[in-house]
Amino acid sequence: MWLSFDRLACYSELAFDLTWIRLCPLSAARIFPEPKMSPQTNPNATRAPAPTHMSPEEWQARIDLAACYRLVAHHGWTDLIYTHISLRVPGTAHYLINPFGWSFDEITASSLVKIDSDGQKVDDSPHDVHRAGFVIHSAIHTARDDAHCVLHLHTRAGMAISMLKCGLLPLSQHAMMFHGKVAYHESEGLAVNLQERERLANDLGNHMVMVLRNHGTLVVGYTVAEAFSSMWHLEKACQAQLDAMACGQELNFPPDGVAEQISRLGFNKAALREYPEGRSPLGWKEWPAMLRLADKVSPGYAV
């Protein structure tokens, strides 16, 4: 087989280049740089240790909550500096919340503000707190021992569902996870009235989701991981319902019993023989992957 002069020249040039790369590794590295290692693949990636004045449990809670804020920002669920995600400090009657005036993609573990159930700061944080915004959160935290994390949003899809008289319908599999777990609270205007807290708590009852009419959505989680996963699935359910309704076609509801079955197998901390782990993976299995995602798309939150 004969090769043309041009092809021979090309192969010779390639061979020279490969030889040069072997002989000049530093130059080669500039052409083919090593890929940056993510925290998932880098064994040296570590978290900052807890400050000396803080328990390891509180520091870990701060890291999880800061990651949740960054993930909410990553998914585009924010409303400028408004709405909140609050978390009970383990073993105390205090709560962590975002510094008012910061965007969610700026939140760090150390910048979170520790407050009491009235929204008053209990540490020497220099940051402001949106006390009016904590009215909703304090109502849930104080009424429910299991409400360690409260995540409240004003997303486009969540607000749209809150405006519909029908509310969230069991149309998609994601929506059916919340079958029998959704409460509704009628709008009372901006949440600045402390007397509304009792009505908020009564309307929520033991549900894990609340649709605030003409306002937005709220989820309750035993952990940050559970609250984030609940909101992710709720948001997708809202979007899917709105897409289906926008088509103007007749909606297809599932057969009797399907929504109940999916709800039982969804967000449920009870023992479930249907899963290898003996419980539903929803609300805990995703969190390590979500932390890795936060490390990649919004590093710097765990400081």
Q: What is the mean pLDDT of each run of 10 residues along the chain (303 residues)?
A: 45 42 39 39 57 92 98 97 96 95 97 92 91 85 95 98 98 98 92 80 96 97 98 98 98 97 94 92 96 97 96
CB atoms under 10 Å from CB of 55, counted, come to 14
**Residue at token pair 């290898």:** 276
What are the phi and psi torsion angles at 25 (to 5°)?
A: -60, -30
Whole-number Cα distances in Å, 153 to 72, 126, 189, 210, 272: 9, 25, 16, 11, 31
Whole-angstrom distance between the N-terminal and C-terminal Cα of the chain?
Answer: 64
Q: Could you name the CATH architecture of 56-289? A: 3-Layer(aba) Sandwich (3.40)
Angle at which helices 56-74 and 224-246 pack, to 10 degrees? 20
Q: Are 147 and 140 contacting, i.e. CB atoms less than 8 angstroms apart?
A: yes
How confident is the model at residue 54, as a pLDDT? Answer: 92
Tokens 């979170």, residue located: 112
pLDDT at 6 (0 to 100) = 47
SS3 121: strand
Task: Provide the pLDDT for residue 31.
Answer: 37
User: What confidence score (pLDDT) does residue 50 get?
Assistant: 85
Q: What integer pLDDT is reported at residue 118 of this predicted model? A: 85
Q: Is the pTM of this model over 0.85?
A: no
3-state secondary structure 204-272: HCCCCEEEECCCEEEEEECCHHHHHHHHHHHHHHHHHHHHHHHCCCCCCCCCCCHHHHHHHHCCCCCCC
pLDDT of res. 52: 83
Q: Write down the residue that tokens 């509704």 correspond to.
A: 184
The string of pLDDT tens digits covering residues 255-277 is: 999 999 999 999 998 999 999 99
CA 236 to chain centre: 13
What local confidence, expressed as pLDDT, does residue 97 receive? Answer: 96
Is the backbone of residue 273 left (phi > 0), alpha (psi -120 to 50) or beta? alpha
Res 134: pLDDT: 83
Exposure b/e, 272-287, CB count within 10 A at least 16 = b: eeeeeeebbebbbebb
What are 224-249's pLDDT values in tens digits? 999 999 999 999 999 999 999 999 99
Position 83 scores a pLDDT of 94
